[in-house]
Structures are given as structure tokens and as C-alpha cells.
Amino acid sequence: MFVLCFCIVSEIHTLIGFNCRFIPTRANRKFNENNNTQRILLMSIIDKRKKAMAIGEGINNDLLGILLKSNIKKIKEDGVGMSMEDVIEECKLFYVAGSETTSNLIVWTMVCLSLDQEWQTKAREEIMQVFGNQEIHYEGLKHLNIVTMILNEVLRLYPPGTMVTRATHKETQLGDMMIPSGVHITIPIMHVHHDTELWGEDATLFKPERFLEGIMGATKGKGSGCFLPFSGGPRVCIGQNFAMIEAKTAIAKILQRFSFEFSPSYKHSPFSSFTLPPQFGVHLILRADGLSP
């Protein structure tokens, strides 16, 4: 009986390639349902944009417009281009890589500033000095040194991606190791960012002042390879600068108008998946101009 069960399980593993997403569990059914809904929604948006562009009314200066315009040009020149499925997958990537990660950064920044009210005050004073009550503008963002230090420290403690995988396409020398072609290497960003040998005994603490002299100063001369919130090297995240501008803008707008602190119902719950969202959300109390909420 044991041998029979083992053979059946082994056969199932062979059929599905050890991929549990094909098993019709409640979670997998919900995932497939959400995936289909998302696909239909994206197809509608893409079709509408393509029709608008065909009659000269499409918006071409956003990510979707630029992608479709480039694809149309590629098809005209080479006869082949991205399929509808390819465009849909790129749109999913826009959201996951560009929206969820940045929103997580903003949320964890508010958590850290709720934990450390002194740094929240410093950041607000800098923002008011640069912008006052005026609208946030790009030139002013360049002068938010304290906010940049805070964001870098939040990215260290709560990186948008907890790990990254790279593959060798040829035999590669890495330190004292010779790695064969075709090997997949996982870099545990979360562990690197909390390594006491790299960051000191206070590696688990929120201390933006460690970035006072930039990333090289924070890593005590060990190089920027110790700080990998957007990965690094030739495959570094293409949207890192845009993400930082988004985060600075959001934090500046919030601190212009509100102070905030933890709600009694707040539960600290970093949930490591592909990204690092708070599992139970973040419950905060916001006050406008120091007034009661």
C-alpha cells in the first residue's frame, strides 16, 4: 500500500512538474479566477487604447502608450512584434514591479516614522523648509536629504524584493569559486541588509543617520553591493529612480498635511513573499496640523 501510494504521488509530481499551482485547491482556484478577471480587464484597456491610437486619439506618453507605439513600429519594420499576451504580461509587470513595491515602501516609511517621532519631525521640518505649503515639484525633491536618508534606511530594513535570482550563462569566477554555466544563484537581499558584519550590531534598528554620507558611507567602505533594494549590476531595476521620486513625493505630501502614530490595533507583520507587504495592513492615527483625528 505504501509503495502504491508512493508511486501515485511520484507520478503526480512527474505530471505536474512538482508545481503545486495546478492542484485545484481553494487558493489556486481563487488565483486563477483573479488572474482571468485581471486578464479580461487588461485586454479591454489595451484594445481601447489601440483603437484610440489608430484614429490618432491615443495617449502615447504613458507606459502603455509608449509600449504599444514601440510595438506597432516593430511590427511595421520587421513584421513581428509582441503578442497580446506579451503586452498583458508587461502590464502586469508595470503594476507588480512599479505599484505594489512603491506602495510598500511608502507604508513601511510611515511605520518607521510612527516608531521614531523625532525623525518624523526632522523630515517634516525639511519638507516645510523646501516647499512650505506649496505644491511639490521635482527640483525641490533633489534637496530632501533627510527624506532620502530615511527612505534608504527603510529600503534596507524592508526591501521591496526580499531576494533575487540570477543565472550564469557561462562559467563564471565569483570570488574563490568557479561557477559552471546554467547555475541559478539566489541572493537573499533581506539577510544581506540585516547582516551585522556589514551594517554593525545595530543592523536591525531604524537609524537613517547611517546614510548621512551616502550608501558608501553606510556600508563602511564595503561597496554598494551590500545595499540591494533594487538589485544591482547590469540587471538593476530600471525604475529605481522613478520609484524614489514617487516615494519622496508621497511622503512629502503626507508630512505637509499630517502627523501620524501607531493605532493601538497595529500589529507588526512583514510578510515575505515576492514582495514584502504588511500581512495585516498598517493601522495608523493621522492628525491634521496637530489636531485630534
Q: Helices 63-78 and 26-54, interaxial angle, to 10°?
A: 70
pTM of the shown model: 0.74
- Report the first-to-last Cα separation within the chain, whole angstroms: 65
pLDDT in tens, 235-286: 787 778 888 999 999 999 999 999 999 999 999 999 887 788 899 999 999 9
In this predicted model, what pLDDT tens digit does every residue of 25-47 receive, in sequence order? 888 888 888 888 888 888 998 89
Q: Is 5 annotated as a binding residue?
A: no
Exposed/middle/buried for residue 276 (C-beta within 10 Å: 0-12, 13-18, 19+): buried
Note the pLDDT of residue 268: 93
In whole angstroms, what is the distance from residue 246 CA to residue 237 CA? 15
